[in-house]
Structure 1
Amino acid sequence: MDVVELMEWLTEQGCCAVFKADGERTPGTRWMVIVSGGALGKDSFFRTDQPSPDACLQDLLDHLETAGLSPFA
């Protein structure tokens, strides 16, 4: 699953999602994902800052699994 497919799935679940690359940040945290609301719960908020898009994607998939959600189900 790529980032676009995952973001589409998240929006289908009613979540708000942001995937950001920021060249002004330090190299170890240039990528960020924020997901909130929807199937994660009204007051939910998840954020991860990582050195690569793949690391952000893995953190998000791990978080979704912990929350009992999976785009693979």
Structure 2
Amino acid sequence: MDVIAVLGWLLERDVNALIRVDAERGGVRPWTFHASGGPRSDRWAIRADADSAEECLQQARKALKAHGLDLPE
């Protein structure tokens, strides 16, 4: 699942999310994924920082799964 599909999937589940690349970090873990909210009444937030977009999304997938959001492949 590509990042655009991930964001769309999360939107359908009332999750706020973004992915960002920050060139000012000098190439050190410039990719960030952040998500918050969710379908439950308890509020949560996750953040993943990584060296590549793929690694960032992989970390985000694990963190989202811990909140009951198992992304499709």
Shorter-chain TM-score bucket reads 0.7 to 0.9
Tell me how far apart the structure 2 counterparts of residues 41 and 20 of structure 1 sit (CA, whole Å). Answer: 27
Describe the superposition over 1:20-53 as per-residue Cα deviations: whole angstroms up to 9, x where unpaired: 0111113121000100002365420100111110
Amino acid at match of 1:26: G
Identity of aligned residues (%): 32
User: TM-score w.r.t. structure 2 length?
Assistant: 0.86
Kindly indicate whether residue 38 of structure 2 is the aligned counterpart of residue 38 of structure 1: yes
Describe the superposition over 1:5-26 as per-residue Cα deviations: whole angstroms up to 9, x where unpaired: 0000011110110100111113
Count of residues paired in the alignment: 73
Amino acid at match of 2:15: C
Higher share of residues assigned helix: 1
Segments of 5+ residues of structure 1 without an aligned counterpart are none
Asked whether the 8 Å contact 1:40–1:67 carries over to 2, the reply is: no
Asked whether the 8 Å contact 2:65–2:71 carries over to 1, the reply is: no
Mean Cα displacement is larger for which, 50-59 or 20-29?
20-29
User: TM-score w.r.t. structure 1 length?
Assistant: 0.86
In the TM superposition, what are the counterparts of 1:1-73 in structure 2 within 5 Å? 1-39=1-39, 42-72=42-72
C-alpha RMSD of the superposition: 1.8
Asked whether the 8 Å contact 2:33–2:48 carries over to 1, the reply is: yes
Segments of 5+ residues of structure 2 without an aligned counterpart are none
